[in-house]
C-alpha cells in the first residue's frame, strides 16, 4: 500500500519504459530530445531521461570546418543507439539524429525539385563528399562546375546550393550537382543579357577559348562565336595568329538566334572592306606583284593586298610545264608577278595568270627560228605517231612519223630513233596560239625539196603532176625504188606496185642503182616530195595511142595500134 503511494525511482523508470513500449525498445532507434548537463573535454553529457546519461563528441554538434557552438543547458536532439552499454551509459549520436532529420527534409525537397544547401568537406574516388545538414551526399567530379576545375580547394568548407540528382534512403545514397545550379543561373543571366543585345551592336568581350574554327568570347555572362573567317579580311589559318585566350577584343554582333541563344561575332566588320572598288584597282590586263599564301592541287592563291587574294589556276601557271603540281612551280611566301585575267567583285574572286606575266616561249621561238630554219634538239619522247623533240626555250616540237625518213614506213622510221638521241630537223610550221611546232627530218636528206616560208615544200622546176621525166635509181628497196629526177632534181619514190602493169615487172630487184628510165609524176606527199609511177605512164601512153591510131570500131588490134604508136614515136 505504501509502495503504491510513494513509488521508487525504479518504479518510475519501469512505468516510463512501459509507456514508451518496453524497457529496451522504447528509446532505441529513435530521435529524442535531451539536455546538455555538462561538457567534459571534447564530450557533451546529455540527459534524455534514461537511467543513465550519454556522451556525444562535440564535433558532432558542429558543421564541417566550423567549431561546435553548444553550452550546458542547451536542448538538443540526439539518436538513441542503445539505452545502456557495457559501462551503463546511454549510447547517443548527434550525427545520426541530424541525418535522420536531414533525410526527411531532403526527401521533401527532392520531390519538389528544390535546391538544397550543403558543404563540400572531403574527397573520394571520382568526386567529393557533401554534408547536407547531416546527410552525406556524393558530388561527381563532372558535376562540380560547367567547365573542368583543376583546384576545388576554394570551393570546400563553404555553404553553397546543390541540386539533388538521385537519392535512395534504403541504401543511404544521395547524388548531388553543383553544375546544374550554375547552368540554371547562367541560363537566367543569358536570357536577361541576350534581350539587351542587338545585331550590329559593337561590344567588348574577353576571349575564353580558342579552337581551329574560331574563338569563344565572353560578353559578360553569355558567349559568342568569333569564326576564323570573320577575324580579318586577309587569310587566317588559325585564330591564334591574331588573338590569345584572355585578350579583350572589340567585336560586332553579326547574328543573334534568341531561340538557341547563339551569337555570331565579327572583327573584320569593324574594318573597311578592301573589295570596295576592286574593279578599278585591279583592271583586267594589269600586271601586279603579290605573295603566294596558299598552294592547292588546283592552283595557288596570291595576296595582292591585305584582304584581297586572287587564284592562279594550275592551267595558268606555266607555258611549258603541264600536268604538274603547283607546288613544283611556286612556293609559299614567294613574291611573284601576275596578270589580272578576270575580276568578280560580287563573288570576291580574282583570276590571275602567272605565265601571262612572262614572255611566251612559243612566240620567242617563232621569232628566233622561222619556218624553214634548221634546229637541233634531243628526242624527249617517242609516241605511236611521231617524235617529240626538245627545243630552245623549253618548248617541244613534233616530227610526224611520215616526216622522219623517205622510202620506209612510219613505224620503221620511228624504230630508228631512241629517247635522248640528238637530232636535227627543219621547222615546217609554227602555231603559237595552239602551242604547236611541226618539224621534219627527212626534208634534210639530199635532194629533198626545199621548205618555203609558208611551211610547205614546193616541187622542183619542171616537176608537174602527170609529167613524164627520166629518173635515176638511187636505191633499191623491198617496197620500191628511191629515184632522182634529172641530174640534180628532187628525189622521190616509186612503189613496187607502180613499177609496171605486169606482176613480173613489179620486182624492184630487176633494177640496178644508176639505171635510168622514164616515169610519170603522179603526185606529191605532204612535204611536196614527188611520187613516180611507170605503171601510170604505161596506161597513159596506151590511152593516147588508142585515141590517135585506132578506135573501138576500126577493127585494128591493140598490137597494131601500139605498133603504129611506137613506130611514130621512133620516127619522131
Give 228-238 pLDDT, tens digit per residue: 888 888 778 88
The arithmetic mean of pLDDT across residues 441-453, rounded, is 65
pTM beyond 0.85: the answer is no
CATH architecture of 281-354: Beta Barrel (2.40)
Which segment, 101-115, 288-302, 345-359, 485-499, is predicted with the most confidence on average?
A: 288-302
The strand pair at 308-313 and 173-177 is best described as unpaired
Instruction: Report which of 475, 476, 478, 474 is spatially closest to residue 412, judged by C-alpha positions.
Output: 478
Q: Cβ(516)–Cβ(534) under 8 Å?
A: no
- Look at residue 450 in the predicted model and tell me its pLDDT: 55
The arithmetic mean of pLDDT across residues 425-452, rounded, is 79
CATH architecture of 361-444: Beta Barrel (2.40)
In this predicted structure, the answer to whether residue 557 has a pLDDT above a threshold of 60 is no
Q: Who has greater pLDDT, 48 or 497?
A: 497
Q: Which range has the worst mean pLDDT, 37-46, 85-94, 165-174?
A: 85-94
The strand pair at 468-477 and 395-400 is best described as unpaired
- Look at residue 351 in the predicted model and tell me its pLDDT: 92
What's the CATH number for 25-107? Answer: 2.40.50.140
Q: What is the CA radius of gyration of the chain?
A: 55
Q: Who has greater pLDDT, 448 or 411?
A: 411
In this predicted structure, the answer to whether residue 477 has a pLDDT above a threshold of 70 is yes
In this predicted structure, the answer to whether residue 193 has a pLDDT above a threshold of 60 is yes
The C-alpha cell at 321 is 610545264
In this predicted structure, the answer to whether residue 145 has a pLDDT above a threshold of 70 is yes
Ranges of each domain in the chain: 25-107, 113-183, 197-270, 281-354, 361-444, 468-549
The C-alpha cell at 21 is 513500449
The Cβ-side half-sphere exposure at 546, using a 13 Å CA radius, reads: 12
Cell numbers 547536407: residue: 132
The C-alpha cell at 53 is 546519461
User: E strands along 315-454, which residues?
Assistant: 335-344, 349-353, 374-382, 386-391, 395-400, 422-431, 436-440
- Look at residue 285 in the predicted model and tell me its pLDDT: 87
Residue 379, SS3 per DSSP: strand
The C-alpha cell at 450 is 626545199
In this predicted structure, the answer to whether residue 138 has a pLDDT above a threshold of 90 is yes
The C-alpha cell at 115 is 535546391
| Helix/strand/coil percent split, the chain, to 5 | 25, 35, 40
Using 50, 70 and 90 to split pLDDT, how confident is the model at 29?
Answer: low
Q: Cβ(316)–Cβ(355) under 8 Å?
A: yes
Identical fold for domains 197-270 and 281-354, yes or no, is yes
The arithmetic mean of pLDDT across residues 367-396, rounded, is 88
Measured distance CA(511)–CA(378) in Å, rounded: 38
The arithmetic mean of pLDDT across residues 269-295, rounded, is 85
The C-alpha cell at 280 is 578599278
- Look at residue 462 in the predicted model and tell me its pLDDT: 52
Average pLDDT, the chain: 80
Q: Which range has the worst mean pLDDT, 8-12, 345-349, 440-444, 482-486?
A: 8-12
Percent of the chain clearing pLDDT 90 (strictly above)? 15
- Look at residue 451 in the predicted model and tell me its pLDDT: 57
For 189, list phi and psi in degrees, rounded to 5.
-65, -40
Percent of the chain clearing pLDDT 70 (strictly above)? 82
What is the enclosing helix (H) or strand (E) of 561?
A: helix 558-571
Instruction: Report which of 62, 63, 60, 55 is spatially closest to residue 36, judged by C-alpha positions.
Output: 55
- Look at residue 17 in the predicted model and tell me its pLDDT: 53
Q: How far is CA 388 from CA 368, 391, 397, 569, in A?
A: 19, 9, 6, 52
Measured distance CA(471)–CA(469) in Å, rounded: 6
Q: Who has greater pLDDT, 462 or 488?
A: 488
Fold of 113-183: OB fold (Dihydrolipoamide Acetyltransferase, E2P) (2.40.50)
Q: How far is CA 278 from CA 274, 287, 308, 309, 346, in A?
A: 7, 15, 9, 11, 10
Using 50, 70 and 90 to split pLDDT, how confident is the model at 464?
Answer: confident
Instruction: Report which of 358, 235, 234, 348 is spatially closest to residue 287, judged by C-alpha positions.
Output: 358
90: burial class by Cβ within 10 Å (0-12, 13-18, 19+)? buried
- Look at residue 458 in the predicted model and tell me its pLDDT: 42
The arithmetic mean of pLDDT across residues 44-65, rounded, is 73
CATH 2.40.50.140 fits 197-270, yes or no: yes
Q: Cβ(287)–Cβ(337) under 8 Å?
A: yes
Contacts for 497-503: CB closer than 8 Å, 24+ residues apart: 497/535, 498/522, 498/532, 498/533, 498/534, 498/535, 498/536, 499/534, 499/535, 500/534, 500/535, 500/538, 501/535, 501/538, 501/539
- Look at residue 460 in the predicted model and tell me its pLDDT: 40
pLDDT tens-digit series, residues 320-331:
787 889 988 899
Instruction: Report which of 164, 134, 137 is spatially closest to residue 61, judged by C-alpha positions.
Output: 134
CATH superfamily of domain region 468-549: Nucleic acid-binding proteins (2.40.50.140)
In this predicted structure, the answer to whether residue 412 has a pLDDT above a threshold of 50 is yes
From first CA to last CA, the distance across the chain in angstroms is 194
Amino acid at each position: 500500500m505504501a509502495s503504491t503511494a510513494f513509488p521508487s525511482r525504479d518504479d518510475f523508470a519501469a512505468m516510463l519504459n512501459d509507456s514508451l513500449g518496453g524497457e529496451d525498445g522504447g528509446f532505441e532507434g529513435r530521435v529524442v530530445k535531451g539536455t546538455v548537463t555538462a561538457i567534459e573535454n571534447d564530450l557533451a553529457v546529455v540527459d534524455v531521461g534514461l537511467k543513465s546519461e550519454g556522451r556525444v563528441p562535440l564535433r558532432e554538434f558542429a558543421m564541417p570546418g566550423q567549431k561546435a557552438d553548444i553550452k550546458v543547458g542547451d536542448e538538443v536532439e540526439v539518436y538513441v543507439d542503445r539505452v545502456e552499454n557495457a559501462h551503463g551509459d546511454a549510447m547517443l549520436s548527434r550525427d545520426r539524429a541530424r541525418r535522420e532529420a536531414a533525410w526527411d527534409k531532403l526527401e521533401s525537397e527532392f520531390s519538389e525539385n528544390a535546391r538544397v544547401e550543403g558543404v563540400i568537406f572531403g574527397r573520394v574516388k571520382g568526386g567529393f563528399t557533401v554534408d547536407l545538414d547531416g546527410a552525406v551526399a556524393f558530388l561527381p567530379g563532372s558535376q562540380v562546375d560547367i567547365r573542368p576545375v583543376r583546384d576545388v580547394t576554394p570551393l570546400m568548407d563553404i555553404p553553397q546550393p546543390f541540386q539533388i540528382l538521385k537519392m535512395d534512403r534504403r541504401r543511404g545514397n544521395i547524388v548531388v550537382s553543383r553544375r546544374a545550379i550554375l547552368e540554371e543561373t547562367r541560363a537566367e543571366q543569358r536570357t536577361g543579357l541576350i534581350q539587351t543585345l542587338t545585331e550590329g551592336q559593337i561590344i567588348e568581350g574577353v576571349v575564353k577559348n580558342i579552337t581551329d574554327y574560331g574563338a569563344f568570347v565572353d560578353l559578360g555572362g553569355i558567349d559568342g562565336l568569333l569564326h576564323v573567317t570573320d577575324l580579318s579580311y586577309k587569310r587566317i589559318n588559325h585564330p591564334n595568329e591574331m588573338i590569345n585566350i584572355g585578350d579583350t577584343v572589340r567585336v560586332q554582333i553579326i547574328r543573334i538566334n534568341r531561340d538557341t541563344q547563339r551569337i555570331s561575332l565579327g572583327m573584320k566588320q569593324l574594318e573597311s572592306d578592301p573589295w570596295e572598288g576592286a574593279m578599278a584597282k585591279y583592271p583586267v590586263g594589269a600586271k601586279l606583284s603579290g605573295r603566294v599564301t596558299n598552294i592547292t592541287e588546283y592552283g595557288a592563291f596570291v595576296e595582292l593586298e591585305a584582304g584581297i587574294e586572287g587564284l592562279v589556276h594550275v592551267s595558268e601557271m606555266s607555258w611549258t610545264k603541264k600536268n604538274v603540281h603547283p607546288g613544283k612551280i611556286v612556293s609559299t611566301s614567294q613574291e611573284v608577278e601576275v596578270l589580272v585575267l578576270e575580276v568578280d567583285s560580287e563573288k570576291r574572286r580574282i583570276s590571275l595568270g602567272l605565265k601571262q606575266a612572262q614572255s611566251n616561249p612559243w612566240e620567242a621561238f617563232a621569232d628566233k627560228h622561222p619556218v624553214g630554219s634548221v634546229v637541233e634538239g634531243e628526242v624527249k619522247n617517242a609516241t605511236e605517231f611521231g617524235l617529240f623533240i626538245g627545243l630552245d626555250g623549253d618548248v617541244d616540237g613534233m616530227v610526224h612519223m611520215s616526216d622522219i625518213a623517205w622510202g620506209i614506213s612510219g613505224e620503221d622510221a620511228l624504230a630508228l630513233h631512241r629517247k635522248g638521241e640528238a637530232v636535227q630537223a627543219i621547222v615546217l610550221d609554227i602555231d603559237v596560239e595552239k602551242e604547236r611546232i611541226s618539224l621534219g627530218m627527212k626534208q634534210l636528206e639530199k635532194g629533198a625539196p626545199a621548205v618555203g616560208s609558208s611551211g610547205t615544200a614546193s616541187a622542183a622546176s619542171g616537176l608537174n603532176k602527170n609529167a613524164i621525166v627520166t629518173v635515176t635509181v638511187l636505191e633499191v628497196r623491198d617496197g620500191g625504188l628511191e629515184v632522182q629526177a634529172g641530174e640534180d632534181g628532187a628525189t622521190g619514190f616509186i612503189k613496187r606496185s607502180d613499177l609496171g602493169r605486169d606482176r613480173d615487172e613489179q620486182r624492184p630487184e630487176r633494177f640496178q642503182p644508176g639505171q635510168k628510165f622514164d616515169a610519170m609524176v603522179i603526185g606529191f606527199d605532204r612535204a611536196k616530195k614527188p611520187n613516180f609511177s611507170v605503171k601510170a605512164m604505161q596506161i597513159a601512153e596506151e590511152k593516147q595511142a588508142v585515141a590517135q591510131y585506132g578506135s573501138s570500131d576500126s577493127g585494128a588490134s591493140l598490137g597494131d595500134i601500139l605498133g603504129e604508136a611506137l613506130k611514130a614515136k621512133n620516127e619522131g
